[in-house]
Structure 1
């Protein structure tokens, strides 16, 4: 006879199934956010590069500032994803 405090096999299987499903979603979400952060960083770097080739000083400053904000945001996202 099994004591009442011991979990039943079907309950253990249900818990493991739910945890595997949650882990799969978490992994997929991490991969998607990582790809988004990398693409955003590349776009930000291209904006900074574009700033070097613009004709006016105001446009160059604008492109450089937007590029720095985008790169900083994507690095912050990567930090949150992997180091916190």
Structure 2
């Protein structure tokens, strides 16, 4: 058998350490982006709400920004958890 079929204990430990580090970063990253996306959904909904109390071009601007931000945040949540 070659060395690749029988890795040493040190190689196995190093590989496990590297993968645990990657998995930890992945979980922390997912939690961070989930919290950020949840807050931006609220910001987008607030912009839509403000659009109802303004008039003229500001109504259109707040509404468009609110819909865009809310949609992008929901899409990010979808990508993070269901795709």
Matches within 5 A, 1:1-84: 4=3, 5-54=5-54, 56-84=55-83
Unpaired runs of 5+ in structure 2?
none
Aligned equivalents of 2:29 and 2:10: distance in 1? 29
Q: State the shift of 1:3 in Å.
A: 6.5
Aligned equivalents of 1:67 and 1:36: distance in 2? 16
Aligned equivalents of 1:37 and 1:7: distance in 2? 43
| TM-score (norm. length: structure 1) | 0.89
Aligned equivalents of 2:17 and 2:57: distance in 1? 57
Unpaired runs of 5+ in structure 1?
none
Give the alignment's Cα RMSD to 1 decimal.
1.5
| TM-score (norm. length: structure 2) | 0.90
- Extract structure 1 runs of 4+ deviating beyond 3 A: none
Q: State the shift of 1:50 in Å.
A: 0.6
